[in-house]
Structure 1
Amino acid sequence: MTVTATSFTGVGVSPGVGAGPVRAMAAAPPEPPPGERHDGDATAALAAASSALETVGADLDARSERAAQKGRAEASEVLAAQAMMARDPSLSELAAAKIGEGLSPARAVFEAFGTFRDLLASAGAYLAGRVADLDDIRDRVIAVLSGRPMPGVPDADVPFVLVARDLAPADTALIDPAKVAAFVTAEGGPTSHTAILARTMGVPAVVAAPAALDLPDGTPVLVDGTTGEVTVEPSEEAVRTARQAGDALAAAVSGARGPGATADGKLVPLLANIGGPADVESALAHGAEGVGLFRTEFLFLDAATAPTLEAQQAVYREVLSAFGDKRVVVRTLDAGADKPLAFLPAGDEPNPALGERALRMMRHHPDMLDTQLRALAAASSGLPVDLWVMAPMVADGDDAGFFMDAARAAGLTGKAGVMIEIPAAALRARDFAQAVDFFSIGTNDLAQYAFAADRQIGALSRFQDPWQPAMLDLIASAATAANTAGTSCGVCGEAAADPALACVLVGLGVTSLSMSAPALPLVRAVLAAHTYSQCVRAAEAARRATSASGAREMARAALPGLRAVGM
């Protein structure tokens, strides 16, 4: 983060501009005093704790339902998962044991959540990323027990800029974009829940900007969710200019129609990332040309037993049938180690983020992979859909060969490919480019492993920036190998949602882009404003830089169409 006298810069994670007075999140309740004890009535104390947990669980369920009604499927799923966490029997048992030791309900709940928190924080990137969710549930329960209002978004009569240390899904899911002009948070990263939900809602957002916490309520600010700049007490002219740029951008977006393509006609399919059937409507509404990443984990992670072939087939067919003859790229189960499954034994791994997850896990359980692949083959039978299936966490040619053999043995007749999200696979993609039907680059994990930087830690956000020249080199390596072999190479990480970076990716040789559905129109408009040669020049310029900020600036200088559409 950089700071000047009148502005500071974090990480822009949701494009657009927003202006208004600062309003801070309602504060979390204070920690109950260590050793605080109940009045001697353990039964009443236990009843109070149980009631508070259920109250919060019910509130989160209600928020989940309202989010679903607003068409925010991803937010709804996150909130439903939080409600399940609030009602976890193990959590209640821990709190009951603490109450049995004489602790007050609030202190018992605080310590019980602390135990869970430590377990999640040490369990790898996926579960560590849920720590903020757990803290939010804890604070809500303690607020109920202490008679305080639950932490949350303030209300105001005029649009405002919401400032917080971080935003929990329960806070962001029901925000009215007509009231919240922008988000600015001290923590978080490009792939945090705050970033993803902000993009889903189309609200400008900047994360990893701790200076925001020093702004008094009511301070007027101008937030640029593209550059990450927050201007304090901007002039009327600065706000007017920013809004004019926003209007130009909106006009360009509304005018962008048809297939993704550069100004000189090079086709670049623009696809949507989805997490299940609930996301289909949004993908189609935003003009997705298909699906570039269908995450299938939702069928497995909360299940007590492995989903049957029939159960999987029904869900897959529901999604596949919605896209006609369009492409739908399905990612096989990405679980294990840091995404434990209740029905498979978890190994004792000192570093789960580098453990047996995804395809590595499936190599130990080939029957599970075979069931999923056969379910996909059956689900696509008789449909015009263009089904592509890919394996996550492929490290080398041996992994690629194993998956290709499994796909063909299961009867899949569509394309089978692999994800490039391990640096070794990107560097030596040429070794197996001809053996697979396609590559799909997962930029979120590729950055995490390339820079040894947990993508959920806001303090490491500069390493999670996909503009890092080393990241661009890795992407170029994979794309070049694919192009040489005549194989397609897409990007399905959140990097594709950055319009300027989308142009750079095309210039690096990427052949399709997949992203959160709301990002599609803007990327389509910006891509259409540039020729393919301009994209190539922007990519070359970005790779000459020595920092992420330098790469971004040099690429933008080579993309004149950004100014034309108000960016």
Structure 2
Amino acid sequence: MPDSQLSGVAVSPGRARGPVVRVAEPAGAPPATPAPADPQVEAKRIAPAAQAVVARLEAMAETATGEAATILITTAAMAGDPALVGNAEQLVSAERLPAARAVHIAADGFAEQLAAAGGYLAERVRDVQDVRDRIVAELLGITPPGVPDLEAPSVLVALDLAPADTAGLDPAKVLALVTAEGGPTSHTAILARSLGIPAVVAVRGVLELNAAALLVDGDTGTVTVADAGEPVFAAERGGPAEWNGKGETADGHRVKVLGNVGSAGDAEAAVAAGAEGVGLFRTEFCYLDAPTEPSVEQQRSAYTAVLEPFRGKPVVVRTLDAGADKPLAFLAQEEEPNPALGVRGLRVALDRPDLLDRQLEAIAGAAADSGAEVSVMAPMVATAEEAAWFAERVHAAGIARAGVMIEIPAAALAAREILDAVEFVSVGTNDLAQYAFGADRQLGAVAALNDPWQPALLRLISFVGDAARETGKPAGVCGEAAADPLLARVLAGLGISSLSMNAAAVRAVGASLAAVSLDDCRSAAAAAVAAATATAARSGAGSVAAPA
């Protein structure tokens, strides 16, 4: 019999106990027989089925906000991809396959290509499989796999959750999430944090438990079999309600508590949560599914809508983070053998400076229109030379403050020289962990390596904090690590001066910082950095300054 307690990677804080609801997996490949009597008629069934899936996903997106809405829109676009539909139609005609079987084969072909590419492209494999299963279900006239309708608050257990499924979860019905696969920066993890749902991923053996009820601890990563007769308790979400809205320690050391946003809905949520500004404004939403580059005027209008709620407040805008591993149609880039290490982020701008200049023009215009205090930073920067090149173009566009993201280990090690070239830096812990450990952040088998409590990652961040103190310039963290109330104290102790996170985590992080002194934070940081393992780092920091 499996152990009654299992461990995984804690990705969203809080504790909950309740009955288990298993999320069904797809039934497998549809049969290849019988052959259709009329292949042309059979092939014509595929496009309407795909469009029906698109319509349902778009309807879900209309009621969602922020990251969830973006994921649903992206999934809908994949479902309507003419290449997928066209390939499936050709298989019906050429091999006389049933439409459902043809869609399954065509989608699997795309998924294999993405998996082979690695990096961020590999992250989209689950999306393709989800689209495949939805279209196949439509063609077969059956209910698609995924999260069932919940009659009562429950703990969801799954091999993994498709991004679209996670985006549609109701926090009032979902007590906690437990998956056998996934990682700390997967869509499941990010959305669970944004929804305030405790979650543990990469829990090996959870599918064999056959437990009627589970106790899930999203702080420690433990999943324990519970007595089905024990009372259900709602997830303990967020931190202490009492916070005065100013990011600082108990002795007055400032650590700004900011929001991560990627849409006007995100901006409103961040303001409502009490964020002091924005530490990461993702601009990719403006380019999603655009067949051509959006005009300066279109970008300016879109950015203004996001910036307006932050009039008079600081907002850090990240320039386009796209490229061969996050393909956009209008970029028309060539295929690369390893897209995660290819032309992406600032490297696209180095090849296409005109693209960057037009975006900077739009950002500057939106800053003037909104009254927000706008700074701009570039993604995927590796050297001080690249940072200086970017800063020159930002300043030429009339924007006073230029910064860069530290998400490549080389940039962390050269933080002192990079800060000489720019006004600030911001650590993207998701990518920094992935590159530092050589571990795909979507692969459950290596999820523990992407735990933000890994001491080696914290030591890289300490280089950045030291450089910030030496130069007298600010260094922020805008990766998912900033949303952990205890880890926020460690980051402050390492010299980080601002933390940016999803709206759901703002008050918990602000209250956590307010409950301790700067010396407490430094002691917690010292304990975490000196630890040998992620578990020991978390335990060591907690023994010094556990969240209030």
Specify the TM-score bucket, using the shorter chain as the normaliser.
over 0.9
1:134 aligns with 2:121: no
Aligned counterparts, 1:71-470, within 5 A: 72-101=65-94, 102-216=96-210, 219-233=212-226, 253-381=240-368, 383-413=370-400, 415-470=401-456
- In 2: Cα distance, 1:30 partner to 1:350 partner: 30
- In 2: Cα distance, 1:304 partner to 1:292 partner: 29
In the TM superposition, what whole-angstrom CA distance separates every residue of 1:504-562 from its partner, at most 9, and x where no partner exists? Answer: 000000000001111111111211121111110000001111111111111111114x2
CA 436–4 in structure 1, closer or farther in 2 if over 3 Å, else same: farther
After the TM superposition, which of the residue ranges 465-474 and 341-350 deviates more from structure 2? 341-350
- In 2: Cα distance, 1:532 partner to 1:253 partner: 19
Aligned counterparts, 1:22-41, within 5 A: 22-33=20-31, 35-41=32-38
Q: Which residue of 1 aligns with 2:4?
A: 6
Match 1:495 to one of 481, 485, 498: 481
What residue identity is the alignment partner of 1:47?
K
Secondary structure of 1:263 counterpart:
coil
In the TM superposition, residue 234 of structure 1 has moved relative to its aligned partner by 5.3
- In 1: Cα distance, 2:131 partner to 2:206 partner: 24
In the TM superposition, what whole-angstrom CA distance separates every residue of 1:380-425 from its partner, at most 9, and x where no partner exists? Answer: 2265321111111111110011011111122213x11111111111
What residue identity is the alignment partner of 2:53?
V
RMSD (Å) for aligned C-alpha atoms:
2.0
- In 1: Cα distance, 2:359 partner to 2:508 partner: 35
Match 2:17 to one of 19, 22, 29: 19
Secondary structure of 1:253 counterpart:
coil
Q: Are the counterparts in 2 of residues 327 and 386 from structure 1 also a CA contact under 8 Å?
A: yes
In the TM superposition, what whole-angstrom CA distance separates every residue of 1:220-270 from its partner, at most 9, and x where no partner exists? Answer: 110011111111125989x79x87xx76x76x5221232111111212110
In the TM superposition, residue 334 of structure 1 has moved relative to its aligned partner by 1.0
- In 1: Cα distance, 2:58 partner to 2:286 partner: 19
1:485 aligns with 2:478: no
After the TM superposition, which of the residue ranges 84-93 and 298-307 deviates more from structure 2? 298-307
Q: Which residue of 1 aligns with 2:526?
A: 540
Secondary structure of 1:306 counterpart:
coil
What residue identity is the alignment partner of 1:88?
D
Runs of 4+ in 1 over 6 A off after TM superposition: none
- In 2: Cα distance, 1:274 partner to 1:143 partner: 34
In the TM superposition, what whole-angstrom CA distance separates every residue of 1:409-459 from its partner, at most 9, and x where no partner exists? Answer: 22213x111111111111121123222100100101111111111111121
Q: Which residue of 2 aligns with 1:53?
A: 50
- In 2: Cα distance, 1:259 partner to 1:369 partner: 34
CA 231–420 in structure 1, closer or farther in 2 if over 3 Å, else same: same
TM-score (normalised: structure 2)? 0.96
Q: Specify every segment of 5 or more residues in structure 1 that has no aligned partner in the other structure, as ranges.
A: none
Q: Specify every segment of 5 or more residues in structure 2 that has no aligned partner in the other structure, as ranges.
A: none
CA 99–383 in structure 1, closer or farther in 2 if over 3 Å, else same: closer
TM-score (normalised: structure 1)? 0.93
Q: Are the counterparts in 2 of residues 29 and 142 from structure 1 also a CA contact under 8 Å?
A: no
- In 1: Cα distance, 2:81 partner to 2:33 partner: 24
* Same amino acid, percent of matched pairs: 52
- In 2: Cα distance, 1:136 partner to 1:377 partner: 39
Secondary structure of 1:270 counterpart:
strand
In the TM superposition, what whole-angstrom CA distance separates every residue of 1:58-77 from its partner, at most 9, and x where no partner exists? Answer: 2212222232xxxx332122
Match 2:60 to one of 56, 59, 63: 63
